[in-house]
Structure 1
Amino acid sequence: MAAAKIPLFYDDREHAEKIIYELSLHEDLSLIKKRLKLGDYQLKDWIIERKTLPDLVQSLCDGRLFSQVARLAQSPNHTALLIEGCTQDIACYQIRREALIGALCSITINFYIPILRSLSQAETAKILYFCANQLNRREHELTLTGRKPKRTKNQQLFILQSLPEVGPKLANKLLCHFASVEAVVTASEEALMQVGGIGKNKASKIREVLTR
Protein backbone atom coordinates (compact mmCIF):
# COMPACT_ATOMS: atom_id res chain seq x y z
CA MET A 1 0.00 0.00 0.00
CA ALA A 2 1.38 3.40 -0.99
CA ALA A 3 2.36 5.72 1.83
CA ALA A 4 0.01 8.61 2.54
CA LYS A 5 1.10 11.94 1.13
CA ILE A 6 2.25 14.69 3.46
CA PRO A 7 -0.20 17.62 3.43
CA LEU A 8 1.33 21.05 2.89
CA PHE A 9 -1.09 23.98 3.00
CA TYR A 10 -0.23 27.27 1.32
CA ASP A 11 -2.08 30.56 1.47
CA ASP A 12 -4.06 31.51 -1.63
CA ARG A 13 -2.57 35.03 -1.42
CA GLU A 14 1.01 33.75 -1.60
CA HIS A 15 2.47 34.80 -4.96
CA ALA A 16 5.49 32.54 -5.28
CA GLU A 17 4.94 30.42 -8.37
CA LYS A 18 8.49 29.05 -8.32
CA ILE A 19 8.05 27.69 -4.79
CA ILE A 20 4.75 26.00 -5.59
CA TYR A 21 6.14 24.54 -8.81
CA GLU A 22 9.22 23.11 -7.08
CA LEU A 23 7.07 21.62 -4.31
CA SER A 24 4.71 20.07 -6.87
CA LEU A 25 7.61 17.96 -8.19
CA HIS A 26 7.64 15.94 -4.95
CA GLU A 27 5.20 13.05 -5.30
CA ASP A 28 5.07 12.47 -1.55
CA LEU A 29 3.60 15.94 -0.94
CA SER A 30 -0.06 16.93 -1.19
CA LEU A 31 -0.24 20.68 -1.89
CA ILE A 32 -3.45 22.27 -0.64
CA LYS A 33 -4.33 25.86 -1.49
CA LYS A 34 -6.47 27.62 1.13
CA ARG A 35 -6.87 30.88 3.00
CA LEU A 36 -4.63 30.74 6.05
CA LYS A 37 -5.49 33.00 8.96
CA LEU A 38 -1.80 33.29 9.78
CA GLY A 39 1.42 32.71 7.86
CA ASP A 40 2.01 31.55 4.30
CA TYR A 41 2.50 27.81 4.80
CA GLN A 42 1.27 25.22 7.28
CA LEU A 43 2.98 21.89 7.97
CA LYS A 44 1.40 19.73 10.66
CA ASP A 45 1.29 22.01 13.74
CA TRP A 46 3.77 24.52 12.31
CA ILE A 47 2.93 27.86 10.70
CA ILE A 48 5.66 29.37 8.52
CA GLU A 49 5.67 33.04 7.54
CA ARG A 50 7.78 33.78 4.45
CA LYS A 51 9.30 37.21 3.96
CA THR A 52 11.68 38.38 1.28
CA LEU A 53 14.60 40.34 2.71
CA PRO A 54 13.36 43.63 1.15
CA ASP A 55 9.91 43.06 2.66
CA LEU A 56 11.50 42.36 6.05
CA VAL A 57 13.49 45.59 5.92
CA GLN A 58 10.52 47.62 4.69
CA SER A 59 8.27 46.29 7.44
CA LEU A 60 10.99 47.06 10.00
CA CYS A 61 11.31 50.62 8.70
CA ASP A 62 7.59 51.37 8.68
CA GLY A 63 6.90 49.73 12.04
CA ARG A 64 4.83 46.75 10.83
CA LEU A 65 7.34 44.02 11.60
CA PHE A 66 6.87 43.55 15.33
CA SER A 67 3.08 43.70 15.21
CA GLN A 68 3.24 40.90 12.62
CA VAL A 69 5.70 38.95 14.76
CA ALA A 70 3.48 39.43 17.82
CA ARG A 71 0.55 37.83 15.98
CA LEU A 72 2.76 34.87 15.10
CA ALA A 73 3.90 34.57 18.72
CA GLN A 74 0.30 34.49 19.97
CA SER A 75 -0.60 31.52 17.79
CA PRO A 76 -1.24 28.23 19.63
CA ASN A 77 0.77 26.54 16.86
CA HIS A 78 4.53 26.45 16.47
CA THR A 79 5.62 29.32 14.22
CA ALA A 80 8.74 30.10 12.24
CA LEU A 81 9.89 33.01 10.09
CA LEU A 82 11.52 32.14 6.77
CA ILE A 83 13.59 35.01 5.34
CA GLU A 84 14.38 34.81 1.64
CA GLY A 85 17.04 36.75 -0.25
CA CYS A 86 20.60 38.05 0.03
CA THR A 87 22.17 41.33 1.18
CA GLN A 88 22.38 42.59 -2.40
CA ASP A 89 18.57 42.70 -2.42
CA ILE A 90 18.59 45.45 0.21
CA ALA A 91 21.57 47.47 -1.03
CA CYS A 92 19.31 50.42 -1.87
CA TYR A 93 17.77 50.58 1.63
CA GLN A 94 19.14 53.02 4.15
CA ILE A 95 19.27 50.73 7.15
CA ARG A 96 22.09 49.97 9.53
CA ARG A 97 23.19 46.36 9.71
CA GLU A 98 23.06 46.55 13.52
CA ALA A 99 19.36 47.47 13.37
CA LEU A 100 18.58 44.43 11.25
CA ILE A 101 20.62 42.11 13.45
CA GLY A 102 18.92 43.51 16.54
CA ALA A 103 15.48 42.86 15.05
CA LEU A 104 16.36 39.26 14.21
CA CYS A 105 17.72 38.67 17.71
CA SER A 106 14.54 40.11 19.22
CA ILE A 107 12.34 37.85 17.08
CA THR A 108 14.27 34.78 18.22
CA ILE A 109 14.95 35.63 21.86
CA ASN A 110 11.94 37.71 22.90
CA PHE A 111 9.24 36.10 20.77
CA TYR A 112 10.63 32.51 20.70
CA ILE A 113 10.26 32.34 16.91
CA PRO A 114 12.98 30.42 15.03
CA ILE A 115 14.32 31.98 11.84
CA LEU A 116 15.04 30.01 8.67
CA ARG A 117 17.20 31.50 5.90
CA SER A 118 16.92 30.98 2.18
CA LEU A 119 18.63 32.59 -0.82
CA SER A 120 15.89 32.01 -3.40
CA GLN A 121 12.40 30.63 -4.00
CA ALA A 122 13.96 27.35 -5.15
CA GLU A 123 15.85 27.06 -1.86
CA THR A 124 12.72 28.01 0.08
CA ALA A 125 10.92 25.09 -1.57
CA LYS A 126 13.73 22.75 -0.47
CA ILE A 127 13.52 24.01 3.12
CA LEU A 128 9.75 23.53 3.21
CA TYR A 129 10.14 20.01 1.82
CA PHE A 130 12.81 19.11 4.39
CA CYS A 131 10.61 20.48 7.20
CA ALA A 132 7.60 18.50 5.95
CA ASN A 133 9.57 15.27 5.89
CA GLN A 134 11.13 15.75 9.30
CA LEU A 135 7.78 16.58 10.92
CA ASN A 136 6.16 13.61 9.22
CA ARG A 137 8.99 11.27 10.29
CA ARG A 138 8.78 12.48 13.90
CA GLU A 139 5.01 11.97 13.99
CA HIS A 140 5.35 8.52 12.43
CA GLU A 141 7.99 7.41 14.94
CA LEU A 142 5.89 8.60 17.88
CA THR A 143 2.88 6.70 16.56
CA LEU A 144 4.82 3.48 16.06
CA THR A 145 6.65 3.48 19.38
CA GLY A 146 3.99 5.10 21.55
CA ARG A 147 6.86 7.07 23.04
CA LYS A 148 6.00 9.79 25.52
CA PRO A 149 8.27 12.71 26.42
CA LYS A 150 10.75 11.69 29.12
CA ARG A 151 12.31 14.95 30.21
CA THR A 152 10.47 16.84 32.93
CA LYS A 153 9.76 19.92 30.82
CA ASN A 154 8.45 17.82 27.94
CA GLN A 155 6.19 15.93 30.35
CA GLN A 156 4.88 19.24 31.68
CA LEU A 157 4.21 20.54 28.17
CA PHE A 158 2.54 17.24 27.29
CA ILE A 159 0.12 17.71 30.20
CA LEU A 160 -0.64 21.35 29.41
CA GLN A 161 -1.44 20.54 25.78
CA SER A 162 -4.40 18.51 27.00
CA LEU A 163 -6.12 21.77 28.03
CA PRO A 164 -8.72 23.29 25.65
CA GLU A 165 -7.22 25.15 22.67
CA VAL A 166 -3.69 24.84 24.06
CA GLY A 167 -1.16 23.84 21.42
CA PRO A 168 2.62 23.36 21.77
CA LYS A 169 3.43 27.08 21.53
CA LEU A 170 0.85 28.18 24.07
CA ALA A 171 1.78 25.35 26.44
CA ASN A 172 5.37 26.64 26.42
CA LYS A 173 4.16 30.19 27.14
CA LEU A 174 2.06 28.97 30.06
CA LEU A 175 4.95 27.05 31.54
CA CYS A 176 7.34 29.99 31.12
CA HIS A 177 4.84 32.36 32.73
CA PHE A 178 3.72 30.20 35.67
CA ALA A 179 6.87 28.05 36.07
CA SER A 180 4.94 24.87 36.98
CA VAL A 181 1.93 22.84 35.90
CA GLU A 182 0.43 23.20 39.37
CA ALA A 183 0.55 27.00 39.11
CA VAL A 184 -1.21 26.84 35.75
CA VAL A 185 -4.06 24.61 36.90
CA THR A 186 -4.63 26.68 40.05
CA ALA A 187 -4.43 30.04 38.24
CA SER A 188 -7.52 32.21 38.09
CA GLU A 189 -9.17 33.19 34.84
CA GLU A 190 -7.70 36.69 35.17
CA ALA A 191 -4.21 35.31 35.74
CA LEU A 192 -4.48 33.08 32.67
CA MET A 193 -5.46 36.07 30.56
CA GLN A 194 -2.11 37.69 31.33
CA VAL A 195 -0.46 35.14 29.03
CA GLY A 196 -0.24 36.21 25.39
CA GLY A 197 -2.66 34.25 23.22
CA ILE A 198 -5.21 33.64 25.98
CA GLY A 199 -8.35 35.75 25.88
CA LYS A 200 -11.37 35.65 28.15
CA ASN A 201 -13.10 32.92 26.15
CA LYS A 202 -10.11 30.58 26.15
CA ALA A 203 -9.34 31.25 29.81
CA SER A 204 -12.96 30.46 30.68
CA LYS A 205 -12.80 27.14 28.80
CA ILE A 206 -9.59 26.16 30.59
CA ARG A 207 -11.04 26.95 34.02
CA GLU A 208 -14.25 25.09 33.18
CA VAL A 209 -12.35 21.92 32.31
CA LEU A 210 -10.17 22.16 35.41
CA THR A 211 -13.04 22.74 37.81
CA ARG A 212 -15.80 20.62 36.27
Structure 2
Amino acid sequence: MAAPHPQWTLDIDPRERAARLYELAHAATDFDVRVRPLRAGDYLVAGAVVVERKTHADFATSLLDGRLFTQAAVLARGPHRPLVLIEGPRPERRPDVHSHALEGALTSLAVMWRLPVIETWSPEGSLRLFRFIAAQVDGAAPAALKRFGRKPKRITTRRLYVLQGLPGVGPTLAGRLLVRFGSVEGVMTAAASALAETDGLGPAKAARIRELLG
Protein backbone atom coordinates (compact mmCIF):
# COMPACT_ATOMS: atom_id res chain seq x y z
CA MET A 1 0.00 0.00 0.00
CA ALA A 2 1.43 3.38 -1.02
CA ALA A 3 2.30 5.85 1.71
CA PRO A 4 -0.15 8.77 1.97
CA HIS A 5 0.91 12.10 0.48
CA PRO A 6 1.77 14.76 3.07
CA GLN A 7 -1.00 17.34 3.33
CA TRP A 8 1.05 20.31 4.50
CA THR A 9 4.59 21.64 4.63
CA LEU A 10 6.44 22.16 7.90
CA ASP A 11 9.73 24.05 7.78
CA ILE A 12 11.92 23.58 10.86
CA ASP A 13 14.97 25.58 11.84
CA PRO A 14 18.03 23.33 12.43
CA ARG A 15 18.33 24.71 15.97
CA GLU A 16 15.31 22.56 16.88
CA ARG A 17 17.04 19.24 16.11
CA ALA A 18 17.28 18.30 19.80
CA ALA A 19 13.58 18.95 20.45
CA ARG A 20 11.11 16.09 20.84
CA LEU A 21 8.72 18.01 18.56
CA TYR A 22 11.33 17.82 15.78
CA GLU A 23 11.37 14.02 16.10
CA LEU A 24 7.57 13.77 16.16
CA ALA A 25 7.22 15.99 13.09
CA HIS A 26 9.57 13.78 11.08
CA ALA A 27 7.54 10.71 12.03
CA ALA A 28 4.24 12.33 11.01
CA THR A 29 2.96 11.32 7.56
CA ASP A 30 0.76 14.37 7.05
CA PHE A 31 3.64 16.89 7.08
CA ASP A 32 6.29 17.37 4.41
CA VAL A 33 9.15 18.35 6.74
CA ARG A 34 11.95 20.57 5.47
CA VAL A 35 14.89 21.53 7.69
CA ARG A 36 16.29 24.93 6.80
CA PRO A 37 17.36 28.13 8.57
CA LEU A 38 14.41 30.41 9.24
CA ARG A 39 14.75 34.19 9.44
CA ALA A 40 12.26 34.26 12.30
CA GLY A 41 10.86 31.64 14.63
CA ASP A 42 11.52 27.92 14.86
CA TYR A 43 8.72 26.44 12.73
CA LEU A 44 6.86 27.60 9.62
CA VAL A 45 3.51 25.82 9.38
CA ALA A 46 1.94 25.42 5.92
CA GLY A 47 4.06 28.28 4.64
CA ALA A 48 1.85 30.74 6.48
CA VAL A 49 2.29 30.76 10.27
CA VAL A 50 5.70 31.18 11.89
CA VAL A 51 6.00 29.75 15.40
CA GLU A 52 8.52 30.70 18.07
CA ARG A 53 8.61 27.70 20.44
CA LYS A 54 9.72 28.03 24.04
CA THR A 55 9.54 26.00 27.20
CA HIS A 56 8.46 27.85 30.34
CA ALA A 57 12.07 27.95 31.54
CA ASP A 58 13.30 29.29 28.20
CA PHE A 59 10.58 31.94 28.19
CA ALA A 60 11.76 33.19 31.59
CA THR A 61 15.43 33.04 30.58
CA SER A 62 14.83 34.91 27.32
CA LEU A 63 13.06 37.63 29.30
CA LEU A 64 16.08 37.93 31.61
CA ASP A 65 18.71 38.06 28.87
CA GLY A 66 16.74 40.39 26.58
CA ARG A 67 16.15 37.93 23.74
CA LEU A 68 12.38 37.83 24.13
CA PHE A 69 11.49 41.24 22.78
CA THR A 70 14.19 41.15 20.09
CA GLN A 71 12.57 37.94 18.84
CA ALA A 72 9.13 39.54 19.19
CA ALA A 73 10.19 42.44 16.96
CA VAL A 74 11.45 40.07 14.25
CA LEU A 75 8.24 38.01 14.40
CA ALA A 76 5.97 41.06 14.30
CA ARG A 77 7.73 42.57 11.27
CA GLY A 78 7.97 39.36 9.26
CA PRO A 79 5.83 38.38 6.25
CA HIS A 80 4.09 35.46 7.99
CA ARG A 81 1.43 35.31 10.67
CA PRO A 82 3.28 34.94 14.00
CA LEU A 83 2.63 32.77 17.03
CA VAL A 84 4.50 32.32 20.31
CA LEU A 85 4.17 28.75 21.59
CA ILE A 86 4.99 27.91 25.22
CA GLU A 87 5.36 24.15 25.52
CA GLY A 88 5.25 21.81 28.49
CA PRO A 89 3.81 21.81 32.01
CA ARG A 90 4.51 24.81 34.19
CA PRO A 91 7.48 23.99 36.44
CA GLU A 92 7.36 24.42 40.19
CA ARG A 93 10.55 26.48 40.05
CA ARG A 94 11.69 28.84 37.31
CA PRO A 95 14.71 31.09 36.80
CA ASP A 96 14.80 34.09 39.13
CA VAL A 97 11.95 36.03 37.52
CA HIS A 98 9.00 37.40 39.47
CA SER A 99 5.60 36.11 38.34
CA HIS A 100 4.46 39.69 37.75
CA ALA A 101 7.32 40.18 35.27
CA LEU A 102 6.25 37.05 33.39
CA GLU A 103 2.63 38.21 33.31
CA GLY A 104 3.75 41.63 32.11
CA ALA A 105 5.82 40.06 29.33
CA LEU A 106 2.88 37.94 28.17
CA THR A 107 0.64 41.01 28.20
CA SER A 108 3.19 43.01 26.21
CA LEU A 109 3.48 40.28 23.56
CA ALA A 110 -0.29 40.04 23.13
CA VAL A 111 -1.26 43.72 23.41
CA MET A 112 1.73 45.81 22.32
CA TRP A 113 3.30 43.43 19.80
CA ARG A 114 0.00 41.79 18.76
CA LEU A 115 1.56 38.34 18.99
CA PRO A 116 -0.79 35.53 20.04
CA VAL A 117 0.57 33.26 22.75
CA ILE A 118 -0.62 29.64 23.06
CA GLU A 119 0.42 27.05 25.64
CA THR A 120 0.55 23.31 25.03
CA TRP A 121 1.26 20.65 27.63
CA SER A 122 3.57 18.48 25.53
CA PRO A 123 5.34 18.12 22.16
CA GLU A 124 2.45 15.89 21.10
CA GLY A 125 0.09 18.75 21.88
CA SER A 126 2.28 21.12 19.87
CA LEU A 127 2.16 18.86 16.81
CA ARG A 128 -1.62 18.62 17.18
CA LEU A 129 -1.73 22.43 17.30
CA PHE A 130 0.30 22.56 14.07
CA ARG A 131 -2.30 20.31 12.43
CA PHE A 132 -5.10 22.63 13.55
CA ILE A 133 -3.20 25.63 12.19
CA ALA A 134 -2.41 23.96 8.85
CA ALA A 135 -5.99 22.78 8.38
CA GLN A 136 -7.35 26.26 9.05
CA VAL A 137 -4.81 27.89 6.71
CA ASP A 138 -5.60 25.30 4.03
CA GLY A 139 -9.32 25.87 4.38
CA ALA A 140 -9.28 29.66 4.64
CA ALA A 141 -12.65 30.09 2.98
CA PRO A 142 -13.12 33.88 2.97
CA ALA A 143 -10.50 34.44 0.28
CA ALA A 144 -11.45 31.39 -1.76
CA LEU A 145 -12.88 31.80 -5.24
CA LYS A 146 -15.73 29.40 -5.91
CA ARG A 147 -15.10 27.38 -9.03
CA PHE A 148 -18.71 27.33 -10.17
CA GLY A 149 -21.23 29.89 -11.35
CA ARG A 150 -19.99 33.14 -12.89
CA LYS A 151 -16.30 33.54 -13.51
CA PRO A 152 -14.62 36.60 -11.95
CA LYS A 153 -14.09 39.59 -14.25
CA ARG A 154 -10.87 41.21 -12.95
CA ILE A 155 -7.78 39.80 -14.66
CA THR A 156 -5.79 39.11 -11.46
CA THR A 157 -8.80 37.46 -9.85
CA ARG A 158 -9.30 35.35 -12.98
CA ARG A 159 -5.67 34.22 -12.82
CA LEU A 160 -6.08 33.20 -9.18
CA TYR A 161 -9.28 31.40 -10.15
CA VAL A 162 -7.38 29.35 -12.74
CA LEU A 163 -4.54 28.47 -10.36
CA GLN A 164 -6.97 27.29 -7.69
CA GLY A 165 -7.99 24.57 -10.11
CA LEU A 166 -4.61 22.88 -9.58
CA PRO A 167 -4.47 19.99 -7.08
CA GLY A 168 -3.87 21.11 -3.51
CA VAL A 169 -3.85 24.82 -4.40
CA GLY A 170 -6.10 27.08 -2.36
CA PRO A 171 -6.32 30.88 -2.34
CA THR A 172 -3.14 31.41 -0.31
CA LEU A 173 -0.99 29.15 -2.49
CA ALA A 174 -2.50 30.56 -5.68
CA GLY A 175 -1.43 34.05 -4.62
CA ARG A 176 2.11 32.90 -3.79
CA LEU A 177 2.46 31.06 -7.10
CA LEU A 178 1.29 34.09 -9.06
CA VAL A 179 3.75 36.36 -7.24
CA ARG A 180 6.63 33.90 -7.61
CA PHE A 181 6.18 33.04 -11.30
CA GLY A 182 4.53 36.24 -12.53
CA SER A 183 1.82 34.65 -14.66
CA VAL A 184 -0.38 31.59 -15.06
CA GLU A 185 1.85 30.48 -17.93
CA GLY A 186 4.90 30.77 -15.68
CA VAL A 187 3.28 28.45 -13.16
CA MET A 188 2.09 25.98 -15.80
CA THR A 189 5.54 25.66 -17.37
CA ALA A 190 7.59 25.62 -14.15
CA ALA A 191 9.55 22.52 -13.22
CA ALA A 192 8.41 20.50 -10.22
CA SER A 193 11.57 21.50 -8.34
CA ALA A 194 10.80 25.20 -8.86
CA LEU A 195 7.17 24.76 -7.80
CA ALA A 196 8.28 22.89 -4.66
CA GLU A 197 10.29 25.90 -3.48
CA THR A 198 7.07 27.91 -3.06
CA ASP A 199 6.21 28.29 0.64
CA GLY A 200 3.42 25.90 1.59
CA LEU A 201 3.63 23.74 -1.53
CA GLY A 202 6.48 21.23 -1.25
CA PRO A 203 7.59 18.29 -3.44
CA ALA A 204 4.45 16.14 -3.04
CA LYS A 205 2.00 18.79 -4.25
CA ALA A 206 4.46 19.92 -6.92
CA ALA A 207 4.65 16.37 -8.27
CA ARG A 208 0.84 16.12 -8.42
CA ILE A 209 0.62 19.45 -10.26
CA ARG A 210 3.26 18.44 -12.81
CA GLU A 211 1.57 15.05 -13.26
CA LEU A 212 -1.69 16.84 -14.09
CA LEU A 213 -0.09 19.36 -16.45
CA GLY A 214 2.04 16.74 -18.20
**Pairwise same-fold verdict (TM > 0.5):** yes
The one-character-per-residue Cα deviations of 1:25-53 (angstroms, maximum 9, x if unpaired) are: 44232111111111111122211111111
**Alpha-carbon separation, structure 1, partners of 2:90 and 2:29:** 34
Counterpart residue type for residue 32 of structure 1: R
Provide the residue aligned with 2:38 in structure 1. Answer: 36
Provide the residue aligned with 1:94 in structure 2. Answer: 96
- Residues 173-188 of structure 1 correspond to what in structure 2 (within 5 A)? none
**Alpha-carbon separation, structure 1, partners of 2:115 and 2:94:** 28
Equivalent pair of 2:6/2:29 in contact (CA under 8 Å) = no
Q: Which runs of 5+ in 1 are unaligned?
A: 149-161, 163-212
- Quick one: structure 1 residues 64 and 121, their matched pair in 2 at CA, closer, same or farther if it must change by over 3 Å? same
SS of 1:13's equivalent in the other structure is helix
Q: Report the CA distance between 1:112 and its aligned residue.
A: 0.7
Tell me whether 1:68 sits opposite 2:75 in the alignment: no
The one-character-per-residue Cα deviations of 1:83-131 (angstroms, maximum 9, x if unpaired) are: 1122216x04222211101100100100011111112222111111221
Provide the residue aligned with 2:183 in structure 1. Answer: none
Count the aligned residue pairs.
146
Counterpart residue type for residue 53 of structure 1: H
| Structure 2 residue corresponding to 1:107, chosen from 106, 109, 117 | 109
**Alpha-carbon separation, structure 2, partners of 1:67 and 1:79:** 14
Aligned-residue RMSD, C-alpha: 2.7
TM-score normalized by structure 2? 0.60
| Structure 2 residue corresponding to 1:135, chosen from 129, 134, 137 | 137
**Alpha-carbon separation, structure 2, partners of 1:137 and 1:8:** 17
SS of 2:9's equivalent in the other structure is strand
Counterpart residue type for residue 23 of structure 1: A
- Quick one: structure 1 residues 79 and 36, their matched pair in 2 at CA, closer, same or farther if it must change by over 3 Å? same
Provide the residue aligned with 1:159 in structure 2. Answer: none
Counterpart residue type for residue 100 of structure 2: E
**Alpha-carbon separation, structure 2, partners of 1:61 and 1:144:** 50
- Quick one: structure 1 residues 133 and 25, their matched pair in 2 at CA, closer, same or farther if it must change by over 3 Å? farther
Runs (4+) off by over 6 Å? none
Greater mean alpha carbon deviation, residues 137-146 or residues 100-109: 137-146
Equivalent pair of 1:23/1:129 in contact (CA under 8 Å) = no
Provide the residue aligned with 1:183 in structure 2. Answer: none
Equivalent pair of 1:48/1:82 in contact (CA under 8 Å) = yes
Equivalent pair of 2:16/2:22 in contact (CA under 8 Å) = no
Counterpart residue type for residue 30 of structure 1: D
**Alpha-carbon separation, structure 2, partners of 1:141 and 1:4:** 23
| Structure 2 residue corresponding to 1:10, chosen from 12, 23, 31 | 12
Counterpart residue type for residue 135 of structure 1: V
TM-score normalized by structure 1? 0.60
Q: Which runs of 5+ in 2 are unaligned?
A: 153-174, 176-214
Over the matched positions of the two proteins, sequence identity in percent amounts to: 29
- Quick one: structure 1 residues 67 and 88, their matched pair in 2 at CA, closer, same or farther if it must change by over 3 Å? same
Q: Report the CA distance between 1:3 and its aligned residue.
A: 6.7
